Structure 1
Amino acid sequence: MIEWGSVSSRAIRKIGYDATRSRMFIDFEDSHPIYTLCGVAESVLRDFINSGSVGRYYHQYIKYRYQC
């Protein structure tokens, strides 16, 4: 089951996570479909959501690293 949460960001609408499959889903404001990322640890999700800037965190630690 995917758990969804909103974040404070101009670029990202919401973030979802499926703990049973270690998949994260990102719904960007300006794109469709929702991005699916594989092999994402829950600790990465927590750090992402709690970062001072989710956009900056995405570009530094997530983008291009969790391809399915």
Structure 2
Amino acid sequence: MFISIEADKCMGHGRCYAVAPDLLSDDDEGFVAERGRCWSIPDALIGQAEDAADACPEGAIAVLATATPTDA
């Protein structure tokens, strides 16, 4: 499984890294530091990834079966 975070959709609410602290972190401006990336999720963190996707009001986060390119 993969997680993808679209940089242009992220508005910095912080809900994602609040519910997925072992997977996501914040940057100096309060945005999710991993925005604009797509990477493999360890099996143990798939639940946190799904919670982060559900928590994002902009729908910037997707949990995917295959990797896809994202905007930086």
Q: Does TM, normalized by the shorter one, top 0.5?
A: no
| Larger RCO (CA under 8 A, 6+ residues apart) | 2
- Flag the structure with higher strand content: 1
Length-normalised TM-score, structure 2:
0.29
